[in-house]
Copies of this chain bind each other. A is one copy, B any other.
Amino acid sequence: MADTLSLAVIPGDGIGTEVTAEALKVLGAVLDGGPAKVETTEYDLGARRWHATGETLPDSVLAEIRRHDAILLGAVGDPGVPSGVLERGLLLRLRFELDQYVNLRPSVLYPGVATPLADPGTVDFVVVREGTEGPYVGNGGALRVGTPAEIATEVSVNTAYGVERVVRDAFRRAAARPRRKLTLVHKHNVLVHAGHLWRRTVEAVGAEFPSVTVDYLHVDAATIFLVTDPARFDVIVTDNLFGDILTDLAAAITGGIGLAASGNVNPDRTTPSMFEPVHGSAPDIAGQQKADPTAAVLSVAMLLEHLGLDDAAARVQGAVATDLGRRASGEISGPRRTAEVGDALAALAS
């Protein structure tokens, strides 16, 4: 990485803009005086732009974004945009065009953080969700729409090329973690073609990682274990749709999507990776400084780690852990404004 890190910022809509401001505040603080500088370019994309111009992601904007080292995204969408327009036209288009095939979602239950589970145990796992294939490819269609003879299809596309590279990434991550355990989640007893491709790939790549213990769960059973024994998980590798479902559930048991960060990573670094909180734009609380920016700040930590700035990443993570600890101990109580949380985290990370 160059000394100057060029960052494309897409604050988006609703609380997206609020949490992104705090994330950038923390990023500035943690890099201040350090080896790397950050240079940000903001891109106005999302519901606001769509309402104004009808554009989701113009090719020229995509080309500009592509030239950056990384992307930080807040959240996009508002209730006035038809379902699917921004998801398919902006968010998924970025993930697909930039070949961000590793959708990385850590789930850590920080000490003292509230969880709906009575007895969660030690929760510290990461979901490696495939990001460029599966039921998300948009290869569906519909016939005779609006008539009693309508038929709508959605095609899940899975390739050896696409599955192998994400499975390999997951094994690498598993081998680098203390517990060295990888769980494949799929539904190969029903989705036999896709499922067996995933299963065979995990077997084949697993042979190269003898230190990693491998197991398998059907997606339905995986949701059971996420609430009865989440401590059993270390690295989960799964397809795009199952990963979407499992990571929201994983966020729920580790303090909610207000704390869940994610990276849409291209591990080959041929294109910029994109970091974003798992939560959405939350129009109901937008503009009120009520949103918790912690997920966006943790996404900055993932961004720093991805760029090799491990010290800065660790400081951001440490700041979050400290702040959450203060909330748990009651040292910090009552609601704080979004900017107050950002200030506190920036100070702690400096």
Contacts and interface: CB of A to CB of B under 8 A. Distances in A.
A193 interface: yes
A245 B227 contact: no
Contact of A151 (B146, B157, B253): B157
A216 to B, nearest CB: 9
A111 B228 CA distance: 19
B156 A150 contact: no
A135 B156 contact: yes
Nearest to A151: B159
A235 B51 CA distance: 35
A251 B223 CA distance: 10
A63 interface: no
Contact of A194 (B153, B187, B189): B153
Interface in A172-192: 187-192
Interface in A79-101: 83-84, 87-88, 92
B192 A83 contact: yes
Contacts of A192: 83-84, 88, 138, 140
A267 to B, nearest CB: 18
Contact of A141 (B92, B117, B164, B193): B193
A334 B223 CA distance: 28
Q: Which of A189, A197, A241 has the most B CB atoms < 10 Å from its CB?
A: A189
A331 interface: no
Q: How large is the interface on A (under 10, 10 to 19, 20 to 34, 35 or more residues)?
A: 35 or more
A148 B135 contact: no
Contacts of A153: 155-158, 193-194
A340 interface: no
Given A140-B193, A188-B83, A227-B253, A158 B148 contact: no
Contacts of A251: 224
B248 A83 contact: no
A118 interface: yes
B248 A84 contact: no
A152 interface: yes
A136 interface: yes
A237 to B, nearest CB: 16
Interface of A: 83-84, 87-88, 92, 115-119, 135-136, 138, 140-142, 144-161, 164, 187-197, 199-200, 219-221, 223-224, 226-228, 241, 244-245, 247-249, 251-253, 256-257
Given A84-B188, A227-B249, 10 more contacts: A145-B197, A149-B159, A153-B156, A154-B155, A154-B191, A155-B156, A220-B249, A227-B252, A245-B245, A249-B249
